[in-house]
């Protein structure tokens, strides 16, 4: 089914540029992110470009296309990766879930406690397992290179009241993307899920079409949602905003081993840059939120446990409706638990 969908997309988008082999010199990679130059994706691309061009002594050039110059939607961009007209593309889980539905595992809430755990998991063999699934599902055309971050963590924000427990979300018209998993989660917490496109969210908050949303603080302030009436932010940090970096597999495999190493190290540098970027940007964003009259609340461990219990239907949906969902979820949970244990052991050792 998925392979048929990919082939149909390639025909529909008329992206038929041939894949050409990469030689030992004069390689040019076309990399795109459909965001803007204020986004963590752009920060990562700049680091990647600088590293690769320097480490290859100029043999590899990286052209950056930020915005919608090469493609507009996730499925269209991934079709470009598959046919070789785009070499590198970054997507959120929502942009790639049509092809790789199990990628939504990162959208399940409260599986990772903090940045250290998330960064540990996303630097582990879990990403290699996902790469294997995606190569199989794309006829070995689309290669997952790494997973970084784009915007920190999602938390609940609204125009009406402080949210301390799931009972406080009950009845709120909560903005979601038009996908089953976030709508299932919103319903489980007692909210009324309302699919709204991102460009329409400001007006929807301003006019009361929706009363709440789940976003990171940098997105909230970049979009000036406080001017639309957003006032209450609960830092429950329920899901890590992963950024999935894809590359045309034939393009990568066609390189020399020396250049492959440069590319791999470039993506490692990119990943670290996107891990760090939200931490820096959040400082000013939180200050700006408070200055605009915003109120920030951090739930207790007991309150977070209440949210986790209320969110159970989202996990049931993922297991029942996502192809390979049970296996991917079990694997992800295993890596997350191992990461938490390893980090706790490090803390204990450093306390002595």
Predicted TM-score (pTM) of this structure: 0.89
Structural domains of the chain ordered from first start: 2-152+241-280 (3.40.190.170), 154-239+282-318 (3.40.190.170)
Q: Is 58 left (phi over 0), alpha (psi -120 to 50) or beta?
A: left
pLDDT digits (tens, 9 = 90+) for 236-289: 999 999 999 999 999 999 999 999 999 999 999 999 999 999 999 999 999 999
Three-state SS for 179? coil
Compute the distance between CA of residue 237 and CA of residue 299 in angstroms, rounded to an integer: 10
Whole-Å CA distances, 277 to 91, 118, 204: 17, 15, 29
Compute the distance between CA of residue 174 and CA of residue 160 in angstroms, rounded to an integer: 11
pLDDT digits (tens, 9 = 90+) for 28-72: 999 999 988 888 999 999 999 999 999 999 999 999 999 999 998
End-to-end CA separation in angstroms for the chain: 55
Whole-Å CA distances, 252 to 138, 259, 263: 15, 9, 8
pLDDT digits (tens, 9 = 90+) for 152-209: 999 999 999 999 999 999 999 999 987 889 999 999 999 999 999 888 999 999 999 9
């Amino acid at each position: 089914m998925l392979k048929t969908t990919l082939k149909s997309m390639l025909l529909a988008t008329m992206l038929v540029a041939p894949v050409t082999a990469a030689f030992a010199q004069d390689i040019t990679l076309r990399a795109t992110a459909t965001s803007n130059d204020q986004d963590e994706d752009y920060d990562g691309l700049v680091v990647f470009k600088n590293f690769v061009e320097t480490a290859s002594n100029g043999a590899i050039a990286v052209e950056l296309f930020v915005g919608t110059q090469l493609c507009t939607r996730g499925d269209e961009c991934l079709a470009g990766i598959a046919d070789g007209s785009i070499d590198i593309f970054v997507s959120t889980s929502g942009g790639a879930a049509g092809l790789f539905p199990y990628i939504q595992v990162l959208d399940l809430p409260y599986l990772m406690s903090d940045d250290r755990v998330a960064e540990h998991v996303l630097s582990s063999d879990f990403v290699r397992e996902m790469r294997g699934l995606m190569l199989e599902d794309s006829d070995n055309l689309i290669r997952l290179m790494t997973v970084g971050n784009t915007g920190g963590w999602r938390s609940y924000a609204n125009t009406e009241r402080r949210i301390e427990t799931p009972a406080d979300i009950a009845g709120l018209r909560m903005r979601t993307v038009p996908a089953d998993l976030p709508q299932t989660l919103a319903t489980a917490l007692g909210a009324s899920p309302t699919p709204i496109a991102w460009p329409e969210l400001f007006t929807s908050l301003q006019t009361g079409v929706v009363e709440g949303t789940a976003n990171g603080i940098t997105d909230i302030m970049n979009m000036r949602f406080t001017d639309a009436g957003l006032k209450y932010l609960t830092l429950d940090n329920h899901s890590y905003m992963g950024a999935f970096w894809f590359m045309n597999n034939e393009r990568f495999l066609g390189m020399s081993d020396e250049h492959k190493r440069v590319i791999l190290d470039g993506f490692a540098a990119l990943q670290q840059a996107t891990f760090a970027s939200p931490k820096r940007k959040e400082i000013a964003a939180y200050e700006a939120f408070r200055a605009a009259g915003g109120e920030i609340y951090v739930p207790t461990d007991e309150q977070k446990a209440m949210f986790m219990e209320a969110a159970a239907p989202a996990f049931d949906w993922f297991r029942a409706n996502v192809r390979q969902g049970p296996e991917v979820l079990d694997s992800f949970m295993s890596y997350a638990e191992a990461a938490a244990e390893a980090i706790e052991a490090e803390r204990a050792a450093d306390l002595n």
